[in-house]
Structure 1
Amino acid sequence: MLQIDLWKRVVIWALCALGLLLAVPNAFYSKVEGHNDAIAEIELSGTSPEREAMAAQWPGFLPSGLVNLGLDLRGGAHLLAEVAVEDVYSARMKAFWPEVRDALRPERSTIGTIRLQPSAGDELKVRISEPDGMTRAMEVVRGLAQQVVSLSGVGASDIEVSADGSALTVRLSEAEKRATDERTMQQSLEIIRRRIDEVGTREPTIQRQGTDRILIQVPGIGSAAELKAIIGTTAQLTFQPVLGRGSDPDANAGIGNEILPSLDEEGAYYTLESAPVVTGEELVDAQPAFDQNGRPAVNFRFNPTGARKFGDYTAENIGNPFAIVLDSEVISAPVIQSHISGGSGIITGNFTVEESTNLAVLLRAGALPAGLDFLEERTIGPELGADSIKAGQVACIVAFTAVLIFMFLSYGTFGLFANIALIINVGLIFGLLSMVGATLTLPGIAGIVLTIGMAVDANVLVFERIREEIKSGKGPARAIDLGYEKALSAIIDANITTFITAVILFVMGSGPVRGFAITLGLGILTSVFTAIFVTRLIIVMWFERKRPKELEV
């Protein structure tokens, strides 16, 4: 029979009211956005009259979730970066030398003296003075090998050791290179995401493309150059022993050493041991601060492992200088005055407040494991985004109006009921997008326009079924009941297949394609809900009130 229980009516209207309430903030976008930014700043940095005034723009008891605007709607920066994964091989081999040296030293009676030789970036060459001891040297170095930490390299060794006369060569195995590439990409993605999040941008898109590329899209940022300044610095921080200071960058540093320029003193160069004592990977915190002279600086703190190594080194080298190196430049080279325990210290230099803050952000987020080569960079101005929003609005209004007129002309009063449900449907879409914090792109607007067209399909199926039942002589109540009953399977089948398509697009696609898939999928859910439940409830309420003897559909 044509009846809907009271509790079902309450649930249907409650869901509609909740969805529309969640969508309301999008009608006051700038005010709600200012309110949200002010609340975030108050939580982070404390209150102020200006922030309180901005927060008061929107009532706190109302929802404040917004549909985030994508790069093509808000404007922003687009970068395609290639990760120089080969840099990691060289760094691994450079860091492996002290371990090889320490392992071979006890065997000097058999292998003689050991010397590091010039070698390619992805290998380590060590010459021994007693070729007869090569077998023992290879055995000792192979003992340093570890198993590859990777599902594809289970049981494989991370290094390969070979000999050529009196030279022993160590290389990373192919399995370890593959595992290293994967770790490097994952670490780069995570660090880029942390750096961008530290700056407080909204809904960035950071995705891996292919084997060694990363797509970065950040809405609302000023330019691609600004974005590159945030993420392009590798921020490789190391603490290295100082061997000497001079003014000739081309002097012979010696094997295992390097010459790096001073950041503060123009024309000054330091000769350093290549193997660092401690690296930035062992940092757990970095905060902007001021030194004892009131100049901007950065406080840092190591994890227990880094703190122990740093403390041991400073205890053994009191009176000697050591260099703080950032991205192959010596920030400062203080002399160790005493044992530094506790694993904390301060980086000083000719910083501005902004530079010290940015350095703290980079160090806190972590060092990029390898350099980035930017293959593509694009800045999308907010004017273009505004034009896209305007075009999307026009498209939605035209589609919406055309569908409303068509439904009313085709089905009369029943078409009017379908139009009411369609309006509720669009509100529910925006409510859901706001609730899940989805990003709306230009293809996403296309998905909403498509949903508007598809939303009436279910109603058309139902109304045509009702027409058929009326023609076969059924009464009004029975015709409506059978119309919904017989159209239900067709409605579900049609929308399930489209929803599966939306899921595939979301899983296989990226960026704008995902935005389209999200709006399409949510639109299908709301369309089915409004067609099966909302429109039917409106018709039932109308029928109970009017009790018509015959129907005109």
Structure 2
Amino acid sequence: MLDFPLWKRIVVWTIVLAGLLTALPNAFYGRVERHNDAVASIAQTGVETPELAADRAGWPEWLPAGLVNLGLDLRGGAHLLAEVRVADVYADRMDALWPELRDLLRQERATVGTIRRVASDPAELRVQISQPEGMARAVELARTLATPVVSLTGVGQTDLEVRGEGDTLVVGLGEAERAATDDRTMQQSVEIVRRRVDEVGTREPTIQRQGDDRILIQVPGIGSAAELKALIGTTARLTFHPVVSRTSDGSTLPGAGNMLLPSAEEPGVFYVLEQSPVVSGEQLTDARPDFDQNGRPAVSFRFNPTGARAFGDYTAANIGQLFAIVLDDEVISAPQIQSHIPGGSGIITGNFTVEESTNLAVLLRAGALPAEMIFLEERTIGPELGADSIEAGRVAAIVGFVAVIVLMIASYGLFGLFATFALIVNMLLILGVMSVIGATLTLPGIAGLVLTMGMAVDANVLIFERIREELKRGRGPARAIDLGFDRALSAIIDGNLTTFITGLILFFLGSGPVRGFAVTLVIGLATSVFSAIWVTRMLIVIWLGRARPKQLTV
């Protein structure tokens, strides 16, 4: 049983070498991080500047380049607490419903008379009819637009509540639909924020829903809260509208069903546009930075089949007309339709820089935020504070490491040296695993590392004490070591398994610092069992085979 075959030694040394290689980039953190950022930027933009080329060459391509991400408390970064105005979605739903309801009521003009949309609460759609006696028919028509509520609590209910008040038809969202809409809006907002933040190269953001209408956003490594707000706060609402007219008078009344928006390219110029868009950003399937025919930065886009059909039909029927591309309530471009544009693809041109076109493509791919976000709290955590935290954690880790080594060598002599080597291997494996999976190291995570050091040698203590017991019973060196490992195994597995389960519970149910602690603890438990049982045993077997001691003192 004490025999350690060659294939096992090869497996152990291979794992140790892999741990060393994957942990190595963390010793050159700045260089590797610049290399990774340069590679990501070149892949995203397709442009390689001399600075990016130098950063990419700063680390060999053939070496692993994964890093342990530093959390907000270690690296500094930005913290935001945002409130989502879910009521904005109600207004959008009513605006989208109006053209369809208008067309239905116009088909029954003889019954309901003329119709006119009147001012109302944003969550309602109020339509005045000239023949109040036709209200029952108007209500019946409006109810045909209702659909079942898609939620567990709204089974059997429809999304619209329709009623008549004198000569006014009132359409609004039902309570079950409002609740379902609020939940969908929050989920969509969290996901869009996550996609925007992740896609621009930031590391391990924390994006969590808090309460009914708030989102917590923490991004390590970003320069300031203002920079993060500029990225997240941009709604990127892209729509395509027919142009009614162009004017230099910002006080022009657009008329019913129209809107007046300024030009982003030409200061002082305004466009009167039809309020209902032909296609919208929700129908985009792709957007990427590009260059126009003159070599200027632009953004190319492509619609899904529904958007492509609507876009193609409109351009075919309106050759020679202006067509406005609207982003966040500004006309960024209003080209003339020269010909039919089939296929649903096009290009957005403007006075962009390469960086602006890249960021716009990111925002368009991520989609529009469904509702406005108001930032209630913002903090910028400077890198100096993170550096202090890292230094404090480094001191704690070194003190703990040295104390464990001194205690093990003083207690077990040569075997303590074997345990020390296994402990070093364990630390390398932890860093290697965290680098490969892209885990985040926080200040509580450093506490988990220090705790792991003690638990790693705890397994060696159990083994060595068992060996001592067998030696006292008169066993020979080889037999005592063999029985020591075998009889300590069950206690090692039991102790680590219960802690491992606790770490998993902390990981899945906890958040923030608790989860950071759990990550290092769980990884450390798995690697410590390997290093204590396999690495230590291999070292002892190699030594025993060469020294062949007649007597053994532990």
RMSD over equivalenced CA pairs, Å: 2.9
Partner of 1:66: 67
Residue 11 of structure 2 aligns with which residue?
Answer: 11
Q: After superposition, where does 1:507-526 map in structure 2 within 5 Å?
A: 507-526=508-527
CA–CA distance in structure 2, aligned partners of residues 453 and 67 of structure 1: 22
> Which amino acid is the alignment partner of residue 522 of structure 2?
G
Task: Summarize the alignment of residues 307-326 of structure 1 with structure 2, pairs less than 5 Å apart.
Answer: 307-317=308-318, 321-326=322-327
1:407 to partner: Cα distance: 0.9
Distance 1:291 1:187, change over 3 A: same
- State the shift of 1:120 in Å: 0.7
The alignment covers a number of residue pairs equal to 553
Shift of the alpha carbon at 1:525? Answer: 0.5
* CA distance in structure 1 between the aligned counterparts of 2:95 and 2:68, rounded to whole angstroms: 48
Question: What SS does the corresponding residue of 2:108 show, helix, strand or coil?
Answer: helix
Report the Cα distance in structure 1 between the residues aligned to 2:456 and 2:102, rounded to whole angstroms: 72
Match of 1:423? 424
Is the contact made by 1:76 and 1:380 (CA closer than 8 Å) also made in structure 2? yes
Q: Secondary structure at the match of 1:370?
A: coil
Measure how far apart 1:429 and its partner are. 0.8
Is 178-187 or 495-504 further displaced after alignment? 178-187
Partner of 1:532: 533
Q: Deviations over 1:198-227 (max 9, x none)?
A: 422333333333333223222222211111
2:84 maps to 1:101: no
| Structure 2: runs of 5 or more not aligned | none
Task: Give the aligned partner of residue 204 of structure 1.
Answer: 205
Give yes or no for contact 1:94–1:274 (8 Å, CA) kept in 2.
no
The structure-2 alpha-carbon separation of the partners of 1:287 and 1:457, relative to structure 1 and needing over 3 Å to count, comes to closer
1:75-120 C-alpha deviation (Å, 9 max, x unpaired): 2222222222211111011111001111222111222222212111
What residue number does 1:118 align with?
Answer: 119
| 1:305-330 Cα deviation digits (max 9, x unpaired) | 22332343345455655543322233
- 1:79-94 equivalence runs, <5 A: 79-94=80-95
Rounded to whole Å, the distance in 2 between the matches of 1:166 and 1:50 is 69
SS of corresponding position for 1:376? strand
Deviation at 1:473, TM superposition (A): 3.8
Partner of 1:226: 227
For 2:358 and 2:64, the matched residues in 1 are separated by: 34
In structure 2, how many angstroms separate the alpha carbons of the residues matched to 1:124 and 1:419?
Answer: 74
- Report SS of the residue matched to 2:240: strand
Distance 1:192 1:160 in 2: 32
TM-score, with structure 1 as normaliser:
0.90
Distance 1:72 1:459, change over 3 A: same
Secondary structure of 1:505's aligned partner: helix
CA distance in 2, matches of 1:255, 1:312: 25
Q: CA offset at residue 257 of structure 1?
A: 4.2
Alignment correspondent of 1:482: 483
Distance 1:49 1:250 in 2: 49
- Alpha-carbon displacement from aligned partner over 1:417-442 (angstroms, at most 9, x marks no partner): 21111111111111111221212222
Instruction: Name the SS for the 1:404 alignment partner.
Output: helix
**1:442 maps to amino acid:** L
Who is 1:174 aligned against? 175
Relative distance call for 1:422 and 1:46 in structure 2 (3 A) is: same
* Superposed displacement of residue 161, structure 1: 1.3
Correspondence list, 1:334-353, <5 A: 339-349=340-350, 351=352
Q: CA separation in 1, counterparts of 2:267 and 2:33?
A: 46
Contact kept in structure 2, 1:76 and 1:218, CA below 8 Å: yes
- 1:378-389 mapped onto 2 (5 Å cutoff): 378-389=379-390
Q: 1:424 to 1:334 in 2, by over 3 A?
A: closer
Aligned to 2:21: 21
Alpha-carbon offset, residue 264 of structure 1:
4.7
Task: Give how far 1:58 is off.
Answer: 3.2
Distance 1:514 1:238, change over 3 A: same
Q: Does 1:78 align with 2:108?
A: no
Q: Is the 8 A contact 2:40 2:201 kept in 1?
A: no
Counterpart AA for 2:82 = A
Q: Secondary structure at the match of 1:307?
A: helix
Is 498-507 or 196-205 further displaced after alignment?
Answer: 196-205
1:242 Cα offset (Å):
4.5
SS at match of 1:202: coil
Question: Mean Cα displacement is larger for which, 362-371 or 464-473?
Answer: 464-473
In the alignment, which residue of structure 2 is the partner of 1:32? Answer: 32
**Distance in 2 of aligned mates of 1:56 and 1:321:** 48
Percent identical residues: 70
Indicate conservation of the 8 Å contact 1:425/1:527, yes or no. Answer: yes
**Alpha-carbon deviations, 1:145-172, whole Å to 9, x = none?**
2223344434432212122222211112
Which residue does 2:457 correspond to in 1? 456
Give the conservation status (yes or no) of the 8 Å contact 1:117–1:255.
Answer: no
Letter in 1 for 2:93: R
Identify which range, 353-362 or 424-433, moves more after superposition.
353-362
Cα deviations across residues 432-486 of structure 1 (Å, max 9, x unaligned)?
Answer: 1122121222221111111112111111222222233333444433333332233
User: 1:527: how far off?
Assistant: 0.9
Worse-matched range after superposition: 521-530 or 388-397: 388-397
Alpha-carbon distance in 2 for matches of 1:61, 1:299:
34
Rounded to whole Å, the distance in 2 between the matches of 1:409 and 1:550 is: 20
Deviates more, 1:435-444 or 1:225-234: 435-444
> CA separation in 2, counterparts of 1:97 and 1:129?
17
Note if contact 1:116-1:255 (Cα within 8 Å) is conserved in structure 2: no
1:548 is aligned with what amino acid? Answer: P
Can you give the 5+ residue segments of structure 1 that lack an aligned partner in the other structure? none
Question: TM-score, normalised to structure 2's length?
Answer: 0.90
Deviation at 1:48, TM superposition (A): 6.1
| Separation of aligned partners in 1, 2:353 and 2:49 | 25
- CA gap 1:283/1:238 in 2 versus in 1, 3 angstroms: same
C-alpha spacing 1:207/1:416, structure 2 compared with 1 (3 Å): same
Cα distance between partner residues in 1 of 2:353 and 2:363: 15
Contact 1:116 / 1:256 at 8 angstroms: preserved in 2?
A: no
| Residue deviations 1:499-550 (CA, integer Å, cap 9, x gap) | 1111111111223322221111000001111112221222233233333343
